[in-house]
């Protein structure tokens, strides 16, 4: 008879042997998910007997993790801004660094009851837009993504988190033929230089969608396109917020200034000290 605790120990030993960075957490989450139990059940009920199909499911999860697939991809969801988000093959997994972007946006949307109009370009899971709408209950938003599958996932995430009535999502190439006067445009665009893709960590290189990673030869293609077009759809004094890759602050700042934006200070840094969120006001 295989118990919950025994299966956890099996996963833990395999992950430790493979030198995975967080073997305990990985084993706990994957075994608990396979058993449809909360993660603390492994501690509270280690002698629980498991059905053969549960054991098989857990061992399939373990094999996928040993093959380099990230835990959140295996689970199919990720927490961001204390909200739960579904993932799909066409979406990035929202990362803690991107919460810095949400913080930067909220700082320039100070009225908690403001009827702000928000535009999220390259929305992916919809994480940034959904998080903002959860904090500004009178705001409305539009999320755009080039991948139809990402748009479908974003709609589900808006529904799951109770903001679907105030969020729209559409397939498109950045601003395309969008019209309107948005108060804020936010984007976490693809910003990895094309030559660097092959050198990314295996978990990113093999499991994140290239469309959401590849920023062109110098990593700045999306920034150029968005900064140039943003003034057309922003209200007077509207705000543009970009997520930055490492070392991109000066280049992106120059693109924003040349498009008519006044930077509102240096980039906001994430918890790792990386310049992550750059904010500019039109005019």
Q: What pLDDT sits at residue 203?
A: 83
Region 53-72: mean pLDDT is 95
Task: Show binding-site residues for S-adenosyl-L-methionine.
Answer: 122-126, 145, 174, 188
Task: Look at strands 275-282 and 234-243 and give their pairing.
Answer: antiparallel
Task: Look at strands 275-282 and 261-263 and give their pairing.
Answer: antiparallel
In this structure, of 39-43, 110-114, 259-263, the range with the lowest mean pLDDT score is: 39-43
Side-chain-facing half-sphere of 252: CA atoms under 13 Å: 30
Task: Show binding-site residues for substrate.
Answer: 188-191
* Distance (Å, whole) CA 227 – CA 223: 6
How confident is the prediction for the chain on average, in pLDDT? 95
> Which residue intervals of the chain are DSSP H helices?
4-17, 23-34, 41-44, 52-66, 71-75, 99-107, 127-135, 148-160, 202-207, 221-233, 249-258
81-124 confidence digits (pLDDT tens): 999 999 999 999 999 999 999 999 999 999 999 999 999 999 99
Confidence of residue 202 (pLDDT cuts 50, 70, 90): confident
Q: What pLDDT sits at residue 250?
A: 97
3-class SS of residue 50: coil
Q: What pLDDT sits at residue 91?
A: 95
**Does residue 60 register a pLDDT over 80?**
yes
Task: Show binding-site residues.
Answer: 122-126, 145, 174, 188-191
- Please give the share of the chain, as a percent, with pLDDT higher than 70: 100
């Amino acid at each position: 008879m295989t118990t919950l605790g025994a299966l956890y120990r099996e996963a833990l030993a395999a992950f430790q042997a493979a030198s995975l960075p967080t073997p305990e957490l990985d084993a706990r989450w994957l075994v608990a998910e396979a058993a449809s139990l909360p993660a603390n059940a492994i501690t509270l009920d280690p002698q629980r007997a498991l059905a053969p199909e549960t054991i098989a499911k857990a061992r399939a999860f373990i094999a996928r993790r040993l093959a380099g697939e990230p835990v959140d991809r295996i689970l199919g969801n990720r927490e961001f801004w204390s909200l739960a988000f579904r993932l799909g093959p066409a979406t990035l997994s929202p990362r803690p660094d991107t919460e810095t972007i949400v913080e930067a946006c909220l700082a320039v949307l100070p009225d908690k009851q403001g009827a702000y109009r928000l535009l999220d370009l390259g929305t992916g899971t919809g994480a940034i837009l959904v998080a903002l709408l959860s904090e500004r209950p009178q705001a409305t938003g539009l999320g755009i993504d080039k991948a139809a599958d990402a748009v479908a996932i974003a709609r589900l995430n808006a529904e799951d988190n109770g903001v679907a009535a105030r969020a729209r999502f559409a397939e498109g190439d950045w601003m395309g033929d969008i019209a309107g006067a948005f108060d804020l445009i936010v984007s976490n665009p693809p910003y990895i230089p094309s030559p660097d893709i092959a050198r990314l960590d295996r978990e990113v290189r093999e499991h994140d969608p290239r469309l959401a990673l590849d920023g062109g030869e110098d990593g700045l293609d999306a920034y150029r396109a968005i900064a140039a077009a943003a003034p057309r759809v922003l209200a007077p004094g509207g705000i543009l917020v970009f997520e930055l890759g490492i070392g991109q602050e000066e280049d992106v700042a120059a693109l924003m200034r040349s498009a008519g934006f006044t930077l509102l200070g240096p980039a906001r840094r994430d918890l790792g000290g990386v310049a992550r969120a750059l904010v500019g006001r039109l005019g």
